[in-house]
Amino acid sequence: MKQIITTILSIIMYLTVSAQTDSLPQYLKIAAENNPGVKAGFLTYRAALQKVPQAGALQDPQLDLGFFLQPMEIIDGKQVADVKLMQMFPWFGTRKAARTEAQHMAKMAFEQFRETRDKLFLDVYTQWFTLCRLQQQLINNQDNKKLLMHLEELALRKFTAGNATPSSSGERQKAKGEGGSATSANAMSGMNMNTTPSPLALSPSPPMSSMPSMSQGNTSGMSDVLQIRLEIAEIDNNIENIRSEIQAEKAKFNALMNRSAENMIQIPDSLKQIPFLLDISAAKTLIDTRNPMLNMINEEESAYRAKAEMDKKMSYPMFGIGLQYMLINKKPASSTPDDGMSDMSNMSDVNNAIGMSSMNGRDMIMPMVSISIPIYRSKYKAQQRENAFLQQASREKYIDTQNMLEAELYRTKHRLDAAERRISLYRKQTELAQTTFNLMIREFTSGKNDLSNVIQVQRQLLDYELKTAEAVADYNTMIANIQKLMSDYDK
């Protein structure tokens, strides 16, 4: 019992996982995780994020080292080396403006990544509905083939009945003629033996007249069967073409998910119209707030604005704080005179010698401050004008893109409404064609209608079914287009 329960649970879990794996949301997730284009866009965004700490960093400090090949004689020793270290600082707020610009550039890269992802999702939706349309067309052709095979069976029965009916009728008429002739002869012999019988009474015209009609019915029945078989052959060819096209579209669908072309894809047998209600004003609002292209242009304008602020700060002086270190060796002391005599006039020199001896060989440290003087203002003014032009260009680009997206929204809505009207029309025509086809089948069976009329209605029925599937696929694809315009894939 435990083994049975475990087996049942395993089957249920397998079916659940299979259903989740073969669903459209799961395919979208696989595509977002595996598509190389989306991966490249996300890696570009991550690379742009690394520019933020770079933009906010200080300039590297400058270190100068100098060595004397021969120590330089100075008053208090011999200078051997000179070391200078300087750190420059930009004007207040310059680093913040640079970080702000880098952040907006990173957001631009993120919006570009969203645009790439939304385009991938639209491609997946479009390809999925294409596969569903082909699958529905395949099913419609297979169903119509069954109808034709049923019609072929009826035609064969009619042909078989046509072969049997004329023979039995001829035998009955022949028997009736023989019986009638014998009766007439007996009657005439009884009434008047010398009377000549009438030619009409002995004429075998009834059975002879039935022979041409029997041959014509047989030929007509066989031509009906052959005509139906021609239609079946054409539908077989359509089925093979659709299967080949499905395999090609499956390979393209797998390519979107970066998978092998031979990977299995479970396509539903029914193509349903997605319920959707479009509010133009709400759609415009969502496009203005969520569309990646518009957001990217907004971030671009913000980046130019931050760059203008940074260039303005860069036109102000830069400050530097440094330190200079001088390495000094001791200077050897000078010898005293032999007479040992001292003069009062030399007392100052002695005192200076005593002072120099206390500083002899002592290294020197000197703090330093530097400042840059941006006196050439023309380049800074040109930078400000450049940033102003770029900001204005971004605003114009935003308006142009907004108008383009709005026009695309109305064009897509028109195509959506047209697809909905076609769906309603083709469904009505399909119902009428199906009813007409059923009536003509009955009339053809009873011999009241011709086969060509039945086949013509059957062709119309198949055409309406194929057009219905195509219209539903177009309708669902237009919904996906509107979702892309609104970037409604984040739900």
- SS3 annotation, the chain: CHHHHHHHHHHHHHHHHHHHHCCHHHHHHHHHHHCHHHHHHHHHHHHHHCHHHHHCCCCCCEEEEEEEEEEEEECCEEEEEEEEEEEEECCCCHHHHHHHHHHHHHHHHHHHHHHHHHHHHHHHHHHHHHHHHHHHHHHHHHHHHHHHHHHHHHHHHHHHHHHHHHHHHHHHHHHHHHHHHHHHHHHHHHHCCCCCCCHHHHCCHHHHHHHHHHHHHHHHHHHHHHHHHHHHHHHHHHHHHHHHHHHHHHHHHHHHCCCCCCCCCCCCCCCCCCCCCCCHHHHHHHHHHHCHHHHHHHHHHHHHHHHHHHHHHHCCCCEEEEEEEEEEECCCCCCCCCCCCCCHHHHHHHHHHHHHHHHCCCCEEEEEEEECCCCCCHHHHHHHHHHHHHHHHHHHHHHHHHHHHHHHHHHHHHHHHHHHHHHHHHHHHHHHHHHHHHHHHHHHHCCCCCHHHHHHHHHHHHHHHHHHHHHHHHHHHHHHHHHHHHCHHHC
Q: Would you tell me the crossing angle of helices 292-314 and 378-445 to the nearest 10 degrees?
A: 180
Mean pLDDT rounded to a whole number for the chain: 82
pLDDT at 174 over 50: no
Same-domain pairing of 71 and 52: no
Are 128 and 204 contacting, i.e. CB atoms less than 8 angstroms apart?
no
Residues facing 64 on adjacent strands? 84
Mean pLDDT of the region 115-122: 96
Q: What's the pLDDT score for residue 220? A: 57
Same-domain pairing of 45 and 132: yes
Same-domain pairing of 230 and 255: yes
Any idea what the CATH number is for the domain that residue 451 is in? 1.20.1600.10
What the block records as the tokens of 330 is 């001791």
Same-domain pairing of 481 and 439: yes
| Assigned domain for 2 exists | no
Give tens-digit pLDDT for 311-347. Answer: 999 999 999 999 999 988 887 765 444 444 444 445 4
Of 102-116, 204-218, 427-441, highest mean pLDDT: 102-116
What the block records as the tokens of 459 is 């062709």
Residue type, 170: G
| Assigned domain for 202 exists | no
Domain count, the chain: 2
Of 64-68, 96-100, 215-219, highest mean pLDDT: 96-100
Residue 361 structural domain: 58-89+317-330+354-373
| Assigned domain for 44 exists | yes
Same-domain pairing of 276 and 232: yes
Same-domain pairing of 123 and 165: yes
Nearest to 59 by CA among 38, 86, 88: 88
Same-domain pairing of 469 and 431: yes
232 or 10, which is more confident:
232
Q: What's the pLDDT score for residue 180? A: 43
Residues facing 398 on adjacent strands? none
Give tens-digit pLDDT for 272-286. Answer: 999 999 999 999 999
Are 148 and 235 contacting, i.e. CB atoms less than 8 angstroms apart?
yes
Residue type, 413: K
| Assigned domain for 203 exists | no
Residue 340 and residue 352: Cα distance in Å, rounded?
19
Q: What's the pLDDT score for residue 53? A: 93
Same-domain pairing of 75 and 100: no
The band of 76, judged by pLDDT with boundaries at 50, 70 and 90, is confident
What the block records as the tokens of 248 is 């090609």
Parallel, antiparallel or unpaired: strands 364-371 and 319-329: antiparallel
- What are the phi and psi torsion angles at 192 (to 5°)? -155, 110
Residue type, 107: K
| Assigned domain for 113 exists | yes
Same-domain pairing of 325 and 222: no
| Assigned domain for 18 exists | no
Residue type, 358: S
Q: What's the pLDDT score for residue 78? A: 87
Same-domain pairing of 38 and 64: no
Same-domain pairing of 246 and 325: no
Of 182-191, 203-212, 350-359, 393-402, highest mean pLDDT: 393-402
| Assigned domain for 364 exists | yes
Residue 54 and residue 394: Cα distance in Å, rounded?
25
Same-domain pairing of 429 and 286: yes
Mean pLDDT of the region 95-114: 96
Checking phi first, is residue 354 left (phi over 0); if not, alpha (psi -120 to 50) or beta?
Answer: alpha
Give tens-digit pLDDT for 128-140. Answer: 999 999 999 999 9
| Assigned domain for 15 exists | no
Residue type, 234: E
Give tens-digit pLDDT for 450-481. Answer: 888 888 998 999 999 999 999 999 999 999 99
